[in-house]
Structure 1
């Protein structure tokens, strides 16, 4: 059964443009080298204007753990992470399972 991971980063007020620049120039190129598990990245609009949200889809927990181990073992990604972490006020992660009805991403 697929596992979905919802990650929400609360960006420090006034730092979103810097976060977006880091992701475009360093973060995404580093992540794109790893197996494609990303459903999508989103930025908050009304009410959540300082949030960066991303959703990932994994085959199971072992797939999820292997993916993140590969990402965190990547020197380019870790250099990017060192730049972006001071711009993040809070991180929330949720693991979710698909409901047994309706569309499946």
Structure 2
């Protein structure tokens, strides 16, 4: 059964332009090689301002841990994370499974 991981990063007030620039300059280049697991990145709008949201889809928990372990060992990802982390006010991760009805990515 697939596992979906919803990761929400609340960016410090006034720092969203810097976060977006950082993702454009180095974040996506570091994370692009893992895009086969990525459903998408989103920016919060009404009611969810200052939020960078991404959803990942994994085959199961073993697949999830393998992917994150690879990212944590990836020097490009870790270099980006080192620059990105000071912009984060709060991080929330949620694991979900698909409902037994409707479309699924």
User: Which bin holds the TM-score, normalised by the shorter protein?
Assistant: over 0.9
**Corresponding residue of 1:18:** 18
- The ranges of structure 1 where at least 4 consecutive aligned residues each deviate by more than 2 angstroms after the TM superposition are none
Structure 1: which 5+ residue stretches go unaligned?
none
Matched length: 105
Q: Within 5 Å, which residues of 2 pair with 1:12-91? A: 12-34=12-34, 36-91=36-91
C-alpha deviation, 1:33, in angstroms = 2.0
**Structure 2: which 5+ runs fail to align?**
none
Give the TM-score, by structure 2 length. Answer: 0.96
- Structure 1 CA distance, aligned partners of 2:40 and 2:13? 23
CA RMSD in angstroms, aligned pairs only: 0.9
Deviates more, 1:26-35 or 1:1-10: 26-35
User: What TM-score results when the alignment is normalised by the length of structure 1?
Assistant: 0.96
